[in-house]
Structure 1
Amino acid sequence: MITGVMVLATVITRFLPFLLFPAGKETPKYILYLGQTLPYATIGLLVVYCLRGLQFLSYPHGLPELISIGAITGLHLWKGNSLLSIGAGTILYMVLIQSVFP
């Protein structure tokens, strides 16, 4: 029963935009605005959420997070590939917290 409800919810969320905004009809301006602004707002919210528990006054003073953020930013500016920068930043962070700053 629960699986069926989950499948139905997933199908509805996948097909609803195509039903509300068909290909031949002009997309409303507020939807276009949300499409341009929400990705940046979402990334900002995720960064704040991920860094909410940092304690700068105790060891390691947020260094693994700050080093990883720098690596992610640098890689993204250099290569422009989100998957590469996020993946490499995650791997770097895991290495830092497990071996450099245990």
Structure 2
Amino acid sequence: MAGNLRPQARKARRAEAKRNDPPFRYCRYHDARDILYEGGAFSFLFFSRTKPPAFLDYLQRYIPPVVMTILVFASYKDIEFTQTPFGIPAAAAGVLTALLHLWKRNVLVSIAGGTAVYMVLIRVL
């Protein structure tokens, strides 16, 4: 089978196999881990004894709702409201997620509940 591939395809296949070798996966994992660790260490070292700047308080307060809004719009962008089931599963799951979060104030419960309702509704409708 490898003899039938063009040289460029064989080269791409070898490069892909090399990227997925365990040492490379190990390096990618540890790079991400190191970045997260250094980010936490940075904030602890610089802001453990002093009050963080007002700009960081502002970001901490307003970035999460902005990111959540963007994620909501991104999740609803490909729904066809003119074809069956008219976006009912996504809308119902979104409303249930919001209601569960307002009621329980638990992210895990609200996301799991909304996902479960969406999965059931896309199979039933």
Match of 1:72 among 88, 97, 115: 97
Residue 82 of structure 1 and its aligned partner are, at CA, apart by 1.6
Tell me the equivalent position of 1:39.
64
Larger radius of gyration: 2
- Percent identity reads 30
The whole-number CA distance in structure 1 between the counterparts of 2:61 and 2:32 is 25
**TM-score, length-scaled by structure 1:** 0.85
The whole-number CA distance in structure 1 between the counterparts of 2:119 and 2:77 is 18
The whole-number CA distance in structure 1 between the counterparts of 2:112 and 2:47 is 35
Residue 18 of structure 1 and its aligned partner are, at CA, apart by 2.6
Amino acid at match of 2:116: I
**TM-score, length-scaled by structure 2:** 0.71
Residue 14 of structure 1 and its aligned partner are, at CA, apart by 2.6
1:47-94 superposed Cα distances (whole Å, 9 cap, x missing partner): 111111011111111000111111111212222222111111101100
What is the CA RMSD across the aligned residues, in angstroms? 1.6
Ranges of 4+ aligned residues in structure 1 off by more than 6 Å: none
The whole-number CA distance in structure 2 between the counterparts of 1:33 and 1:40 is 12
Tell me the equivalent position of 2:36.
13
Asked if residue 60 in structure 1 is aligned to residue 85 in structure 2, the reply is yes
Listed as ranges, the gaps of 5+ residues in structure 1 are none
Classify 1:5/1:68 alpha carbon distance in 2 versus 1 (closer, same or farther; 3 Å): closer
The whole-number CA distance in structure 2 between the counterparts of 1:14 and 1:29 is 24
After the TM superposition, which of the residue ranges 5-14 and 40-49 deviates more from structure 2? 5-14
The whole-number CA distance in structure 1 between the counterparts of 2:82 and 2:59 is 38
Q: How many residues align?
A: 100
